[in-house]
Amino acid sequence: MDNSIWATYSPTLLRWILLGGITLGAMVLLNRLLTALGIRRETATGFSLVLPWVLGFSIFSLYPFIYSLYLSFTEYNIFQPPRWIGLANYITMFTADRSFWPSLRLTLFYSALNVPLGLAGALGVALLLNRSVRGIGVWRTIYYLPAVLPVAAVALLWRWMFSPSSGLINFVLQPIYRLLNVEPLAWFTDPDLVMPAYVIMGMWGVFGANAVILLAGLKNIPKHLYEAADIDGAGTMQKFSNITIPMLSSALFYNLVTGVIASLQIFTQAFFITIPNRAGQFINVRIYQEAFTFRHMGYASALAWFLLLLILLLTLFIFRSSSLWVFYETERK
């Protein structure tokens, strides 16, 4: 097989140019067609402009969405056509699949620790940065750094850092181990410690970036609120809980929702850091394995639908609870 660069790239490149041309051509054609049909010019142009998204949505979101729901009720190994088995996949998931509950536990615990801790840490750093410190640009750059790194590089780096025999973490902790007279912790290779280690790695990745986002939110809080509180003799804690938190709550809310959605879908890290069997496996990785390692497309789809429902449920819960703690300025009466 010819594996030269040109032989590998040119077919894709040609199809890529072709598809781009077809997409743009289809937009122009649709515009002409709608105008010819006597539809208002603005409507015709608007429809034509969003056409690529409508096509992309139908082919790569809507159809796969419905088809995967169908697949979740079938047994399908790609080579034979899907066979309808009703709810069997879901029953297997909750009763027979011994790796399901551990994986759910691992994923949920990871999110439950990673997201709130990450947000609290981010809020702390953002508050520090907001104290009119010098060289804000430099601090911001440093804190933001981990978030731009490839996840794979971060995972490998932390696996090395947490290496039981020679990693940096155990080196730093060595005096403590000696003081308590205990064995060095095994971190990623210890089923009980793998999750905390993941949480620490996850926090390193996100909290700086979240801090920068929250800082932008803090800068948006009008100064006069604090000045008025000063005149009324409010203390630091009072100002924090009565001005800062309410004014920041919509940014916190946004970070909470996106954080939960992202952390439930943790994936890449698990490929670079093997998790001990006894600790389970993240749900997203389980779905990948079922689908692409064992070719259980039906069962994998059922797991994916479970994950979707889990995300929807949690998001709904956060949204519902938001009326209790999120403050929107426009609501003010």
Chain positions 82 to 121 lying near other proteins, rule: CB under 8 A, are none
Count of chain residues binding other proteins (CB under 8 A) = 105
Among 50, 112, 120, 176, binds other proteins (CB under 8 A): 50
The window from 106-114, 179-187, 190-198, 224-232 that contacts other proteins (CB under 8 A) reads 224-232
**Neighbouring-strand partners of residue 84:** 74
Our finding on whether 304 is near other proteins (CB under 8 A) is yes
Q: Is 25 in the site for other proteins (CB under 8 A)?
A: no
Q: Is 176 in the site for other proteins (CB under 8 A)?
A: no
* Residue 327: both structure tokens together: 């403050």
Which listed range, 97-105, 107-115, 190-198, 208-216, lies at the site for other proteins (CB under 8 A)?
208-216
Residue 294 interacts with other proteins (CB under 8 A)?
no
Structure tokens at 210: 């979240």
Which positions from 126 through 145 interact with other proteins, judged by CB under 8 A? 128-129, 131, 133, 139-145
Asked if 14 touches other proteins (CB under 8 A), the answer is: no
Among 25, 57, 177, 321, binds other proteins (CB under 8 A): 57
Beta bridge partners of 74: 84
Nearest to 122 by CA among 197, 203, 202: 203
Place of tokens 């949480």: 199
Q: Nearest to residue 116, comparing CAs of 199, 172, 178, 22?
A: 199
Determine how many CB atoms are found less than 10 A away from the CB of residue 104.
Answer: 20
Contacts 24+ apart (CB under 8 A), 283-287: 283/103, 283/104, 283/107, 283/307, 284/107, 286/99, 286/100, 286/103
The residues in 66-85 that bind other proteins, with binding defined as CB under 8 A, are 67-68, 71, 78
Residues 254-293 that bind other proteins (CB under 8 A): 254-255, 261, 264-265, 267-268, 271-272, 284, 287-288, 291-292
Scanning 268-296, the segments in alpha helix (DSSP H) are: 268-272, 283-288
| Other beta carbons within 10 Å of 301 | 25
At closest approach, how far in Å is the CB of 12 from other proteins? Answer: 4
Q: Which is nearer to other proteins, 19 or 112 (CB)?
A: 19
- 240 belongs to the binding site for other proteins (CB under 8 A): no
Pick from 29, 59, 120, 176 the residue near other proteins by CB under 8 A: 59
Name the nearest CA neighbour of 329 among 250, 254, 257: 250
The reply on whether position 151 binds other proteins by CB under 8 A is yes
User: For residues 68 and 84, what is the distance between their CA atoms, to the nearest angstrom?
Assistant: 13
- Options 190, 315, 318, 327; binder of other proteins; rule CB under 8 A: 315
Between 112 and 313, name the residue whose CB sits nearer to other proteins. 313
